[in-house]
Amino acid sequence: MKISFSQLALPKSGAIAVTVGHDRALGTFGRDLDQRTGGALSRAMEAARFTGKAEEILNVYAPTGVDAGRIVLVGTGKSGDMTALTAQNAGGAVVAALLASGETELAIAAERPDGAHLGAVEMAAELGFGAKLRSYRFDKYRTKEPKEKKPSLKKVTVLCEDPAASKKAYGALDKLADGVFLTRDLVSEPANIIYPESFAERCQDLKDLGVEVEVLDEKKMKKLGMGALLGVGQGSARPPRLVVMRWNGAPDAADKRPLAFVGKGVTFDTGGISIKPALGMEEMKWDMAGAGAVTGLMAALAGRKAKANVVGVIGLVENMPDGNAQRPGDIVTSMSGQTIEVLNTDAEGRLVLADALWYTAETFNPRFMINLATLTGAIIVSLGNEHAGIFSNSDELADRLTATGKKTGELVWRMPLSPAYDKDIDSEAADMKNIGSPGKAGSIIGAQFLQRFVKDVPWVHIDIAGTAWSKADKGTVPKGATGFGVRLLDRMVAEHYEG
C-alpha cells in the first residue's frame, strides 16, 4: 500500500477519515467538514452514541456537500492520553474498516488535539505507519477469493500541517514496516515452502540492503562441534542451516562490538520421536517465528541505516521423526563442550539455541545477546497472548525492554531465573538434561537451560510462544503472524544503542 502526505485540505476523490477526540471533539478540518455536510457528522455521532474513544469507528455514508462517498470518523480518545501507539492504532482502525470496502483511495486528516503531548508531525507519521501495518494480508495462495473480499484500498494520503516533515519522519517507520512484513511473510509460509535451505535463501535478499550474509551448512557446523543443533535436524530430509547476518552501521567513534540477536528457527516441529498430538500440529509451521523476527529486524535496521553494528544469527532445522531421528535418552555434545541428555525430543528449540548462542558469544564478543523463540507452551499458561516472557541476567536490558514494550505495544513481562530452578536440569548421565520435572515451571526451566550457553555476555531470552501468532485482529496486527519483536527491538536499538 502506498502512503503519502499532503496539505490539510479537502481531497477531490476517495474516502475521507477524520480523527475525533474524547467527547466528539473535532479539529478545525473536522468542524469545517461537518459544516459542509450540513452537520451530518455531529448528527451521526449523536445517533450512534459515538464518543471518540480510541479506535472507535463510525462510517457516514453519502454525505452531502462533498464528493466523497463516505466519511469515516475514528476516535483518538483523551488528548492527554494520546501517544504514538494511539495514532498508529487509529490509522490501523481506518484501514481495517476500508481495506475491502470497494474504496481505492483514502485521505486521513491528522489533526493534533489540543493538549496532546504528541507533536503534529509525529502524529501524521504514526498514523501512516499504523495504516501500513494494518494493510498486511497473506493471501498469495487464495486463488478463488470473491472479489468483494479482496483488498481494494491501494492508496492512503495523510493530510497534515507539514507534509515534508511528516514524510521525512515516516521514512524510518516505512522501513520498519517492511521488516515487520518480512517477518509476517516468513512465519505465514507453509513448511513445504519455508524449510532450512529455502529460509537461508530468503536471507540472501538482505544483501540488497547492505547486510552481509553467511550460511553455515552441516559440514561447517559439524566442524564447529554443534552437536545439539545437528541432533535436532537429523531426522529430517531437509538439512539444517545456521545463517549469520551482519549490519555494520556504527560511526567510527562508537563501540564496534555488535549487538547480537539470535533466533530459533524450527521450520516445522512434529516433536520428533516425542511426537505432538495431531490436533493443531499444523500451527507448528510458525515454530520458526524467533528466526523470522531476527531476519525482519535485520531488514528494518539496514533499511533505515541504523547507526549500530548488529549481528543476527538464526539456527534453522526441521524436527521430524524417522529411522535416523534423535531418540529420547540420546546424549549429544554441544559446541560449548557441555553434554546434554535429550529426554524429550519436543524440547528441541533450546538445543538449537544452545549452539547458536554459544557460537554468537564466541565469534562476535557482542555487547549483549537477545534471543527470541517460540520456546514453551508454558509461557502461554503464565501470560496468555498479551505479553511475551523475558528472562535475563541483566537488569538494565530487562528494564529497557519492558519500557520499550509499553511504547511499541509489544509487551513483555519479566520472569525469574534462580539457581534453585537450575538444579532441576542436572542430569545423572550428562552435564544436563533438556527438560525438568513434568508440569513444573516449564518456561523458567527452558530459560535456565539457555543461560548455560551465554557465557558472561549480558543476555535476554524472549519467549514469544504466545505472541508470535494471533487468532484475532488487533490494532495494527491482522490475525495470523504478528511480526512480534521487530518493533520492540528496533526501538530499543534506536533509543539506547545508536550513535
CA-CA-CA-CA torsion sign (245, 249, 251, 254): negative
Least trusted range by pLDDT, from 61-65, 111-115, 250-254: 250-254
Q: How far apart are CA 454 and CA 105, in angstroms?
A: 50
Q: Is 350 a catalytic residue?
A: yes
**Which whole-number Å values give the CA distances from 56 to 134, 157, 222, 441, in the listed order?**
15, 20, 56, 40
For 391-408, what is the mean pLDDT? Answer: 98
CA-CA-CA-CA torsion sign (197, 349, 452, 376): positive
The model's pLDDT over 171-230, given as tens digits with 9 standing for 90+, comes to 999 999 999 999 999 999 999 999 999 999 999 999 999 999 999 999 999 999 999 999
**Which whole-number Å values give the CA distances from 322 to 65, 327, 361, in the listed order?**
70, 10, 33
Query: Which string of DSSP letters, residue by residue, matches 289-348?
Result: HHHHHHHHHHHHHHHTT-SSEEEEEEEEEEE--STTS--TTEEEE-TTS-EEEES-TT--
Pairing of strands 241-248, 309-319: antiparallel
Whole-number pLDDT of residue 448: 98
The contacts of residue 157 (CB under 8 Å, 6+ apart) are 3, 4, 5, 6, 11, 14, 105, 106, 107, 108
Backbone angles phi, psi at 154, to 5 degrees: -115, -25
Segment 46-52 long-range contacts (CB within 8 Å, at least 24 positions apart): 50/20, 50/24, 50/75, 51/22, 51/23, 51/24, 51/75, 52/20, 52/21, 52/22, 52/23, 52/24, 52/25, 52/76, 52/77
Q: Is 238 a catalytic residue?
A: no
Please identify which of the residues 78, 276, 407, 474 carries the catalytic annotation: 276
Q: How far apart are CA 82 and CA 179, in angstroms?
A: 25
Whole-number pLDDT of residue 218: 98
For 473-490, what is the mean pLDDT? Answer: 97
For 481-485, what is the mean pLDDT? Answer: 98
Please identify which of the residues 134, 264, 350, 433 carries the catalytic annotation: 350
The contacts of residue 402 (CB under 8 Å, 6+ apart) are 390, 412, 413, 414
Q: How far apart are CA 412 and CA 421, in angstroms?
A: 21
Confidence of residue 249 (pLDDT cuts 50, 70, 90): very high
Whole-number pLDDT of residue 252: 82
Cell of 196: 532450512
Backbone angles phi, psi at 446, to 5 degrees: -60, -40
Which strands make up the sheet holding 432-433, listed edge to edge? 330-333, 339-342, 432-433
The model's pLDDT over 64-86, given as tens digits with 9 standing for 90+, comes to 999 999 999 999 999 999 999 99
For 282-302, what is the mean pLDDT? Answer: 98
